[in-house]
Structure formats: structure tokens, C-alpha cells
Structure 1
Amino acid sequence: MNVININGKLISAYTENRGYEVSNLLIQYMITARSMNMTYDEAMKFIKKAEGLGSIPGLETITELLRRIGNPQDELNIIHVAGTNGKGSTISFLSGILAAAGYRTGIYISPVVFSYREKLQIITLDHYTDDFEKNKDSNQNNILHVEYISEEDVCRTLEIIKSACNDMTNEGYAHPTVFEIETAMAFLYMKYQQVDFLILETGMGGRLDATNVIRHPVCSILTPVSMDHMQYLGNTLEQIAYEKAGIMKSNSFAVTSLQAPEVLSVFKFKAAELNIPLFTADSSKAENVRYYDGYTTFEYPDANKHEKYSIQMLGSYQVQNAITAITTARYMGSMGYAISENAIKSGPGLVRWQGRFEKIAASPDIYIDGAHNEKAALNLRDSIEIYFTNRRLIFIIGVLADKDYQCMLRILAPLADTMITLTPDNNRALPSYMLAACAKLYCGKVYDERDIEHAIERAYIEAKTGDVIIAFGSLSFLGSLKSIVKARKDERNNG
């Protein structure tokens, strides 16, 4: 018999194979206990300390950690998402569809842009209409309710997890990494919240990613694959695709976005090995795509007819992400899940996704985008050519050192009149002077401003009427940049 100290109470649990087999009732009690020893500041310090352990691919540690807290992931309906680009947007579109169908949908995402608590969200449908009975089947006047995990629930879940981590190290196990801890937090929290679905984003790769501890997903989604994290995943598209394909499981199905032939070949081989269907979300079949200031419309076939869709997320690539979510929802519906055609049609238009080609200010127009690799840079270039023809462009860029920034600059820098570099607040950040030196190969006017405050100040100085400022690269600085721009706008309005 071992003892866990939670909330100042001694709770006993039988041990097996040196770990705790914690009952569901015990988990419920520990999470809902009103008194907590851990404060939010202490929780963040625990997370910060775990960040120092780095990233260690493999499933042994996360498997042991989850076993000690009762394997909450085994009681969740999970949709698993891997890929290089478009994961977050695809998750957002699918969460909108599932919410429109009446499901309480949890999402687990990383990295986040504006708040640590963004990692865990619960999406439901709010009905704001004068005549609910008339409009309940059309979703007219409906909006999504997005709820981040509370500080209290961060503390409750991390208190349980920290205790398990301490016991693991005392017994000779490796201490879980920060991503393993947060993945365990996601499973524990979503189980407690009794979500109908959890849409789960991989952190890196797939096969050895901590999220891949799940055994029975509803389905697996594979968004576009390109070159990224090569030091971990491999130096060819086939090697990277092999790692992503590792999330596919037997007794399930998989959906893939359009892929390079060598990537699709790997996915088909894996699906055949598991004897599961692999469906392609063929965005090339989209017709009548129209881009407007604030929304995009397109048509996509369903059986013998073309349905018209409207989405609020901007960018040419968002049509592809929406179609991947639409295709997934259609096949979920065909396999018995209650997802109406109306939910599939209206759901994608209900969602927004912060930090992805998002307009955050006007006069001058300022956009932020999380483009951080070759494919994302190509997507951003396409969007720029669609929305900003004949407008002078000012770019703000900051990247992590392990990204192919030279390729990104080769694609995007020639479009800019002015480039401004900064160093993101991240221990993996590329120094801004190195980024500036490379940018000068492709753009004649480059400023190394080092930090966010000086970068945005320089952009305002350079911007003239009609110019567009676009900040892109690492998501790790976009949240701070947005806050600074908002503060300047508030100050100007109050002045």
C-alpha cells in the first residue's frame, strides 16, 4: 500500500508493478476537491522547470505517467491530428462542425499564441436568436462558446500529475517532459469535463509523440506534410511521412489532405498494413472560390450536388483545411455518429483561429500569421498575392533556429519593401542579427530591431497610407505583438 498526499489529505492506493492504479472515483475526488495546495504561480513554475528537460521522443514515460493517474485517455472519444501545416485550423473547423451537431468538443493544441490556457479548450454551441424553434435546424444566428481551462483546473490536474511525477523519479523512472505532463493534463481534464470528443493535436511527428499513447481513436487526420523538424523526423518527405503515419490505428479510419505523391504512398502503405480505409480530402474539387475582406466562400461536392460553404478564416490554404474537416465529418456521419449535413455546412463558418492570417489592426493594416516552414511560407505568399496586390509590404519576422528560415526568406522576402527582424522570447530562437543578414540577400531594406517593441515601433515609422504590415514566423512572439498593437490602439483612442 502506498500513500499520495493530495490537498493535505493522505489517500491510499493499491500498487501494481510499482505504480498507482487510481480508481475513477478517486480521480473525480482529487480533481473536484475544493482545497488545493498548488497555486497557479506554482503550477507555472512546475511547467517551466519541466521545460528544461527538453523534448524526448518515445512513449514509455507517458505510458507510465498515465497508468499512475488511471489512464483517463482510454475513456475518451479521440480524433488524432498530425501533419506539418494546417493542424490547428483543421481542428478548429472540425470543432465547429461537431459543436454545430450538438457535441461538447474538447481540443488540445500547441503551441499557443496568447495564453497558456489556450492549450485546452471546450467548444460548444450557443444559441442567440429571437426564434430558437424556427432556427434550431439552420444554425442561423448561432455562435460558438469557447471555454479555456480555468486556472483552478490547471492547478487541480497538475497537482495530481506532479505527485505522480515525484513518485516516478523516486522509483527510478525518468521525469516526464513538459509535453508529456501537458498531454496527461489534457486527458485528465477532458475526462473530468465529460467531453463527447477530444480533438488531439500531435506535438511533433506522430509515431513517438506523447499523444500517440492512445489506442483506439475514432479516426486519424493527416494534414499537409512538408519538411520540418528534420533533426528529429528525418531528412526526406518519406521519412517524415512515416513518423506522421504512426498515428493511424487499426479498427478506425484515416483522412488525409492532398499530399505529395511520396507522402501519400507512405500513408496508403500504412493504411493497408492496418487494414483500415484512408480517405482523401480532395480540395482540388473545390469550385467557385471567392475571397472577400473578412470571409471566403467556395463550393464542394457532396454526392451529386455542390454545397456552398462560407468561412471566416482568411488565407487561400484555409479552403483546404476546411475541406479536410468536412471530409472527416462526412465519414464520421456515415459510420454512425449523429452529424447532420446542416452541421457540416454551417460549422466551418462559425470558427475563427487566432494567429493565422489574422487582421489585428487598421490604419495601417496589420496581419499576423504563424508561417514557420517552407509550405506555410508558400501558403502565406499565395494569400499575400490574393489580398494585397499592388500594396507596399512591411514584414516583421522572428523564427526559431531549428526552422528552415533561409527557405522562408527566399520565398517571402522578395515581396517586401522593408523587412524587420527580431529575436523571439524562446530558448530556441534564432538571433535577429543572423536573420537580418540572411534577409539582406533578398530584400534591399532590412532593419535588425532585436525585440518586439522596437520591431513594431520601426514598422509604424516605416508604414505609409495604404501599406500593409505582416508579422510572421514563430507563434511564440505573435501574442505579445498583438498585445502591444492593441495597447497602442487603446492609447490612441483614449488620447
Structure 2
Amino acid sequence: IERLRCLLKILGDPHKNFKFIHITGTAGKGTTANTLHEILTAAGSPRSRSSPRWRAGAAGSPRFGEAGGEAGKRVGSYFSPHPTTAIERIKVNRRLVAPAELVALVEKLKPFLKEAILKSPYGHPSYFETFLALAFLYFKQKKCEYVILEAGLGGRHDATNVIAQPLLCAITNINHDHLEVLGKSLKKIALDKAGIIKKGSVFLTTESRSSILKLFKKECQRLKVPFVLVAPEPNPNLALAKALAQKLGLSRQAIDLGVRRAKLPCRFEIMQKRPLVIIDGSHNPAKIKFLTERLKEVSFKKLVAIVGLAGDKDFKKSLPHLIPLCDQLIFTRFLMPYRKTADLEKMAAFSRTIRPNTKPLIFLDPYQALKAGLKLARPQDCLLICGSFFLAGELRTHWIKEEQILRKRSSF
């Protein structure tokens, strides 16, 4: 954080004076952030403002109009990782940052980045930190009032935690992921993510385990921060986004409109029918378990799955949720050069310990894996692509090209 803080200071602290909502958690933080983004954007639309509840506000909550969220105000969000192309990380209202605008910001940043490298005692800013600085510059340029930050990894030491005092902070849930950084126990992971709780904010969570809630409550008591427990049913991400919106005093009409508009790429995304193709970036045990629950919502005869997990993920805890449902497994790599894919032979061998009669296929080229999957899946079947956002984002280009995303400034 100090490394990023040094760069931001040289840039004139572009991250100050926003009204922040900070969201972390093991699973669902991107979906929650995007849903809230769409609700906030909807609250500034004429259709939403015509509601008699506009400016009514929930009791004890800041009214959106009073907080400056009336027509003409802008909402910015920062997401990570991006599924297909870098502009998907930065969004203002309903459009991604324009490629030309991003290039101009990079050029503007270069001399300041060089100065930070030469002067900072903390070393060269990382890719994530540099991109977050670009996002802050863009949000300032676009005169955003509200900014929603999705944490990259953990909370306490995550670059997004450079902000001083969010209006609201939220943790979706706590499960095992990024163990090499956050720690191997749920308590250690929870303590790290609880680092986003700051004095002067309001804290919300859909976590349900008493031992973790006790830890969150203790941190809230220490900082004198209001603690709000949100019932996670039926959809925890949607429930948390709605609760955050209610805390901002947004109208029911704005919430309903925002929820209808909200969608993210590679989150149980249906790309085609006959065969049904679903792309999902699930990459840890909790997310893959949730994915298998969602599969019950759709109808198909057989399930063909293309799976590629990162090398730092524990596939022995993730795959048991998925393998029993699959009629055919295809293991493949993603092509991201900076991340290693889990050993394909080991994953295939492990799958046979769960389903001895299965004959998994292995492809080094993910596009060959996709070609095989589409050939194996009959019109009444389902082809599922999962295990990594990198794999999901790469293969999504079979249906939606990167050039289209860049041209339309939309993932859809």
C-alpha cells in the first residue's frame, strides 16, 4: 500500500474526495460490486428519479440525493481481474473506459511512474497498483462522485485499501483461497479481509459462521463501526448489493432497475443454446460449489466440462464438487504467461479416483479443447467452461471478440 501511496502522492492524490464503497470476500465480490454499480447508475436516471421514494431514504441512512447522487452525478467502479481485455477493469456509469482514453492516461502516467520508481523507497509499483492509479485518474477526470472498489486479494494489504474512509465496506464471505498469501486458516483469511473496515464507515456482510462473525464484530466494536448482518438467501451477492443500496437510501425502483441491468462476463454466462454453453470463472472450492448449485437451475441431458485451474489452486478440494456431475471432462491450460496452470495429468488422474470409469481428455491448446467440447456436446447437452477467469475470458472470444468489446466499450 505504501508503494501505491507514494505514486498517488506524486500524482496529486487523485483518489481523494470520492465517496467509496469497498468490497472484498472470497467469492462474489465482483458480482456484488457490479450490481451495486448498476443500482447507483439507475438511481441517477430519469425513470428512477420519478419514483415518489426518490430522496425518501431508509431510516438512519444517507439519502442518495443529499449525498450528491442526483442526476448528472457519475459512478465509477474498478474490477479485477479482467476476463478478456484490460478496459473491462474500469467502468463509469454504463460504459467501460475508452481505449483511446486509457492510452492517453498511460502516456500521462509515464513520467510520474518514472519519478515514483526513482524516488520511492518501496520499489516499482505493480501492474495492479499502476492500473488502480489509472482508474483513480480516470474517475477524477470524469468527475465521479461514487467509486466502488473490488479488492484484488484479501483486504488489509490490498492496494485498494489505500483509501482512507469508505462510506460503506462489505465482505461477501470467507473461504479458502490465496492461502500462500492470506494464510491457511479461515481466521487468518478473515482477519486480513477485515482490514478494509475503517472508522467512520458502515460494515455489511453475508457471512454466516458465528466464529467469523465474532471476529468481524470485534473489529467493528474496536473502531466504533456499525455492524450489519445481511441474510444471504436466496442469492447472497444480490442480497448484499441490495442491502448496500438501501444503506445509501436508494429507492426500490432504482434497486429493481439496477438489478435487472446488472450482468458480468464469465459469471454463469450463457453463450449459446443447443448445445447450451455456460462460461464461469469459478476457481476455488467455494465458487465451484456455488457453480454446481446453479447448474441445477438449467436443463440438459449430459454435462461436458472444460476445466483449467491455476497452479496455485488446490484442485483436490475444488474438483470433487464438479466431477460427479460430469459425463465428460476436458482438462486444458490458459495462455496467460504470468500464471501457471495446474498440472493437467495430475488433475486427470485425480478425476479418475472419483469416477474410475471416466476418460478425461487433455489439450494443451484451450481452443482445441473448445473445439473438442463443442463436438462432443449434443444439442440437448451442456458444455461448461470453468476453473479460471483467464481460461473463461480467452474462450469467451469464440462468441464475443476482443475488438467488439473495445469498439462498443461493453463486455456484451
* TM-score using structure 1 length: 0.72
Q: Could you say which structure has the higher strand fraction? A: 1
Corresponding residue of 1:378:
289
Which residue identity does 1:67 align to in structure 2? Answer: K
8 Å Cα contact 1:225-1:259 kept in structure 2: no
Corresponding residue of 2:246:
330
Which residue identity does 1:331 align to in structure 2? Answer: K
Residues 217-226 or 434-443, more deviating:
434-443
Corresponding residue of 2:180:
231
Q: Give the secondary structure class of the aligned counterpart of 2:208.
A: coil
8 Å Cα contact 1:355-1:478 kept in structure 2: yes
Q: Give the secondary structure class of the aligned counterpart of 2:87.
A: helix
* Counterpart-to-counterpart distance in 1, 2:335 and 2:344: 11
Q: Give the secondary structure class of the aligned counterpart of 1:402.
A: coil
8 Å Cα contact 2:309-2:342 kept in structure 1: yes
Corresponding residue of 1:197:
146
8 Å Cα contact 1:242-1:266 kept in structure 2: yes
Deviation at 1:96, TM superposition (A): 1.6
Matched, 1:259 2:208: yes
Matched, 1:95 2:23: no
Which residue identity does 1:471 align to in structure 2? Answer: I
Matched, 1:412 2:382: no
Corresponding residue of 2:257:
346
Corresponding residue of 2:405:
none
* Counterpart-to-counterpart distance in 2, 1:255 and 1:324: 8
* Counterpart-to-counterpart distance in 2, 1:92 and 1:171: 36
Change (3 A) 1:346 1:147: closer
Deviation at 1:486, TM superposition (A): 5.8
Could you say which structure has the larger radius of gyration?
A: 1
Deviation at 1:171, TM superposition (A): 2.9
Corresponding residue of 1:364:
275
8 Å Cα contact 2:330-2:361 kept in structure 1: yes
Change (3 A) 1:91 1:75: same
Matched, 1:391 2:307: no
Matched, 1:469 2:383: yes
Matched, 1:438 2:387: no
Deviation at 1:76, TM superposition (A): 1.2
Corresponding residue of 1:85:
27
Q: Give the secondary structure class of the aligned counterpart of 1:72.
A: coil
Deviation at 1:328, TM superposition (A): 0.8
Which residue identity does 1:116 align to in structure 2? Answer: A
Q: Which has the higher contact order (CA 8 A, sep 6+)?
A: 2
8 Å Cα contact 1:107-1:121 kept in structure 2: yes
Instruction: Report matched runs for 1:251-330 at 5 Å.
Output: 251-284=200-233, 319-330=235-246
Instruction: Report matched runs for 1:445-484 at 5 Å.
Output: 445-484=359-398
Q: Give the secondary structure class of the aligned counterpart of 1:107.
A: strand
* Counterpart-to-counterpart distance in 1, 2:400 and 2:86: 19
Deviation at 1:122, TM superposition (A): 1.2
Deviation at 1:267, TM superposition (A): 1.1
Which residue identity does 1:222 align to in structure 2? Answer: I
Which residue identity does 2:270 align to in structure 1? Answer: K
Q: Write out per-residue CA displacement over residues 265-313 of structure 1, whole angstroms, 9 at most, x where no aligned residue.
A: 22111111110101111124x5xxxxxxxxxxxxxxxxxxxxxxxxxxx
Q: Give the secondary structure class of the aligned counterpart of 1:484.
A: coil
Which residue identity does 1:323 align to in structure 2? Answer: A
Deviation at 1:153, TM superposition (A): 2.0
* Counterpart-to-counterpart distance in 1, 2:203 and 2:101: 32
* Counterpart-to-counterpart distance in 1, 2:139 and 2:120: 29
Deviation at 1:91, TM superposition (A): 0.9
Deviation at 1:352, TM superposition (A): 1.4
Q: Write out per-residue CA displacement over residues 160-186 of structure 1, whole angstroms, 9 at most, x where no aligned residue.
A: 332222112323631111111011111
Change (3 A) 1:161 1:435: farther
8 Å Cα contact 2:167-2:202 kept in structure 1: yes
Q: Give the secondary structure class of the aligned counterpart of 2:353.
A: coil
Corresponding residue of 1:44:
none
Corresponding residue of 2:56:
none
Q: Give the secondary structure class of the aligned counterpart of 1:157.
A: helix
Determine what percentage of the aligned residue pairs are the same residue.
Answer: 31
Q: Write out per-residue CA displacement over residues 461-488 of structure 1, whole angstroms, 9 at most, x where no aligned residue.
A: 211231110000110121221222568x
Deviation at 1:114, TM superposition (A): 2.1
Corresponding residue of 1:116:
86
* Counterpart-to-counterpart distance in 2, 1:273 and 1:486: 48
Q: Give the secondary structure class of the aligned counterpart of 1:421.
A: strand
Change (3 A) 1:485 1:183: closer
Would you identify which runs of 4 or more consecutive aligned residues in structure 1 move more than 4 Å? none
Which residue identity does 2:86 align to in structure 1? Answer: Y
Structure 1 residues not aligned, in runs of 5+: 1-58, 124-145, 287-318, 334-338, 488-495
* Counterpart-to-counterpart distance in 2, 1:171 and 1:481: 41
Which residue identity does 1:225 align to in structure 2? Answer: I
* Counterpart-to-counterpart distance in 1, 2:133 and 2:208: 31
8 Å Cα contact 1:237-1:262 kept in structure 2: no
* Counterpart-to-counterpart distance in 2, 1:111 and 1:274: 31
Instruction: Report matched runs for 1:43-58 at 5 Å.
Output: none
Corresponding residue of 2:119:
171
Deviation at 1:75, TM superposition (A): 1.7
Q: Give the secondary structure class of the aligned counterpart of 2:26.
A: coil
Size of the aligned set, in residue pairs, is 368
Deviation at 1:401, TM superposition (A): 0.7
* Counterpart-to-counterpart distance in 2, 1:188 and 1:94: 22
Which residue identity does 1:178 align to in structure 2? Answer: Y
Deviation at 1:447, TM superposition (A): 0.2
Q: In angstroms, what is the RMSD of aligned CA positions?
A: 1.6
Corresponding residue of 2:334:
424
Q: Give the secondary structure class of the aligned counterpart of 2:77.
A: strand
Corresponding residue of 2:70:
none
* Counterpart-to-counterpart distance in 2, 1:185 and 1:341: 34
Q: Write out per-residue CA displacement over residues 192-212 of structure 1, whole angstroms, 9 at most, x where no aligned residue.
A: 111121110111000001110
* Counterpart-to-counterpart distance in 1, 2:317 and 2:112: 43
Q: Give the secondary structure class of the aligned counterpart of 2:169.
A: strand
Structure 2 residues not aligned, in runs of 5+: 45-72, 402-412
8 Å Cα contact 2:171-2:207 kept in structure 1: no
Which residue identity does 1:399 align to in structure 2? Answer: L
* Counterpart-to-counterpart distance in 2, 1:191 and 1:434: 48
Which residue identity does 2:118 align to in structure 1? Answer: N
Corresponding residue of 1:67:
9
Q: Write out per-residue CA displacement over residues 104-139 of structure 1, whole angstroms, 9 at most, x where no aligned residue.
A: 21110001112210000112xxxxxxxxxxxxxxxx
* Counterpart-to-counterpart distance in 2, 1:268 and 1:344: 28
* Counterpart-to-counterpart distance in 2, 1:80 and 1:486: 30
Q: Write out per-residue CA displacement over residues 396-432 of structure 1, whole angstroms, 9 at most, x where no aligned residue.
A: 0011111121111111111101000111112322243
